Structure 1
């Protein structure tokens, strides 16, 4: 089996503050997104591995999605419309700038 051309990493974790309270938002706002992304990747014929990960340490900008090897980091990925825009960017070779972490 060949290795995939890209990996789409979706933050699925929360982290705690020093006092033990929850800080992150990614896990709370992305329910069902991994399945949606996986289905879209298949439907679009993209050669991508979709991976849920632990905290990416960008809680203030979350939910976070990363595309590798391009190293595109996206913030505020909290809807299927934003996911579609990112996948369109993968297909077209140009990321949607309005969601990128700079």
Structure 2
């Protein structure tokens, strides 16, 4: 029993909703699933053997699905504006953990 967490992130051929069935129950067992962008807006942090680890998984999603996860009123939002706003929201998640991420492969 090594207690190694398993991370599952949906791809372009996975059904996001189907993949997330049982997400909270499986998380208690160390299986962490990201099927839709709703759950990918905050880093997932855990203790690794070398200290704290934070990951920011982003499952495959059409821009509209990402917009729906971030904004209540997607209908009135211009697609180009939505893409810029999405980048403005998601980028800090990666930037604040960038140094740690770079250290993982050094």
TM-score range, shorter chain: under 0.3
Pick the structure with greater CA Rg. 2
The TM-score, its normalising length taken from structure 1, stands at 0.24
Greater fraction helix? 2
